[in-house]
Amino acid sequence: MDTPAAPEAAAGPEALPRHSIAVVSRRTGLSQLVLRAWERRYHVVEPGRTESGRRRYSDLDIVRLGLLRRLTAADHRIGDVANLPLVELRELAEGLPEPWPEMNAGANIGAGMAGSLVGALPVTAAELLTEALAAVAALQSAALEDVLARASMHLSRPALRQELIRPLLERVGELWRDGTLRIAHEHMASSIVQSFLSATNASQMPDAGAPLLVVAAPARNRHELGALLVASLGLELGWEVLYLGADLPAEEIAAAALQRGARAVYLSLIFPASDVVVAGQIDLLRRLAGPGLAILAGGAASASYDAVLLQAGAFRTDTPEAFERALVEILN
């Protein structure tokens, strides 16, 4: 069993647990899922906790995690360096380049991340997808979390979304429909992926003055994963994203968009299709928001609302390319 990280000698303010996991993620370039996986598996740091149970990290924790990231970027195995004292980590990292946070998604920095179901470390989206499906079939939520954590270090954000997460969800859905998997498998996969996307999106900071996109699934639409994928894409394209979740009435979506001065709203329409209540919500959103707010919509059921979307002057964007074109058009 792994031992906790070696305690540091300092007892000053730099050792006080005061930083949230979001701050640590931004400063180190490690995703929140990777941070949690390293803590759980290797005890790389021992964060403090608030009264409500939220993690709090010290300045020394941030230094330690930053060094570990640099070392894994240089092909050190995380299991070999996770519990070394800070002075040894600094010696090992001496002369190594300092990776920028933006390298997190595209650089091969996780050569030591353990947790593979088959022992080898997958480095392609296809291999990661195979391992993720095996984790779902075995109902191994921790293994699926580890796959996603490693994927966030090996794949670019577009590849992560298009070549792993979307195919994973589609394949799990197919296996559920043909009886290979049970609904429990689908729910487990959806829950883990939803948490992963939420954490990944929260770690992305838009530039000051970025246009605002509101993303939501309207009333009677209870599936969040499509909306989360769109939120991720919006962030990649340089927009600030206000994510409101699922099953939200048009009145609330419009109020949030108007209060924040949003340039656009995206509606995720997955299920139900051709529903009169949903159609009414789209029409109501247009009337409440006024003509100046762009409305975009996509998802498996979006084509069934073509008539009301057309009447509302909305863009239907069923592909990442169409979504990107619509955002460009809105700004021009």
Which two tokens mark 282? 């789209």
- Verify that 136 and 81 share a domain, yes or no: no
Helix axes 183-202, 32-42, angle to 10 degrees: 110
218 and 309 in one domain? Answer: yes
Answer yes or no: are the C-beta atoms of 260 and 222 closer than 8 Å.
Answer: no
Specify whether 224 is located in the same domain as 192.
no
Q: Is the dihedral of CA 158, 126, 194, 269 positive or negative?
A: positive
Could you tell me the CATH number of the domain that includes residue 290? 3.40.50.280
129 and 230, same domain (yes or no): no
Question: Do the domain assignments include residue 25?
Answer: yes
pLDDT for 33 equals 75
User: Is residue 18 domain-shared with residue 60, that is, in the same domain?
Assistant: yes
Of 202, 220, 249, which one is at a domain's C-terminal end? 202
Q: pTM for this one?
A: 0.65
Model confidence at 5, pLDDT cuts 50, 70, 90, reads low
pLDDT surpassing 70 at residue 112: no
Asked if 254 and 294 sit in the same domain, the reply is: yes
Q: Tell me which of 70 and 138 has the higher pLDDT.
A: 138
Same domain, yes or no: 262 and 298:
yes
Domain membership flag for residue 4: no
State the total domains in the chain.
Answer: 3
Q: Is residue 94 part of a domain?
A: yes
CATH of the domain at 87: 1.10.1660.10
Sorted by sequence, the CB contacts under 8 Å of residue 226 that are 6+ apart come out as 217, 268, 270, 298, 299, 300
Q: Which amino acid is at 240?
A: E
49 and 151: one domain?
A: no
Residue 58 has pLDDT above 60, yes or no: yes
Q: Is residue 218 part of a domain?
A: yes
224 lies in the same domain as 277: yes
Q: What is the CATH number of the domain that holds 193?
A: 1.10.1240.10
The answer for residues whose C-beta is within 8 angstroms of residue 80's C-beta and 6 or more apart is 112
pLDDT digits (tens, 9 = 90+) for 194-237: 888 888 887 777 888 999 999 999 999 988 889 999 999 999 89
Domain presence at residue 96:
yes
Residues 220, 301 within the same domain = yes
Residue 3: band (very low, low, confident or very high) from pLDDT cuts 50, 70, 90: low
**Stronger pLDDT, 12 or 44, i.e. the higher one:** 44
Looking at the structure, tell me whether residues 180 and 95 fall in a common domain: no
Q: Residues 236-292: pLDDT tens digits?
A: 899 999 999 999 999 999 999 999 999 999 999 999 999 999 999 999 999 999 999
Q: Which two tokens stand for residue 246?
A: 């699922």
Residues 223, 324: one domain?
yes
pLDDT of residue 113: 34
Cβ-contact 222, 301 below 8 angstroms:
no
272 prior amide bond cis, ω within 30: yes
Which of 29, 46, 11 is CA-nearest to residue 203? 29
For residue 132, give the amino acid letter. A
Residue with tokens 């487990």: 188
Please, is 303 exposed, middle or buried when counting C-beta atoms within 10 Å of its C-beta (0-12, 13-18, 19+)?
Answer: middle
* Single residue among 202, 230, 262 that ends a domain in this structure: 202
162: in domain: yes
Mean of per-residue pLDDT scores for the chain: 85
In-domain check, residue 49: yes
| Boundary residue ending a domain (202, 229, 253) | 202
- Domain range enclosing 259: 212-331
Q: Decide if 8 is inside a domain.
A: no
Q: Report the percentage of the chain scoring pLDDT > 70.
A: 88
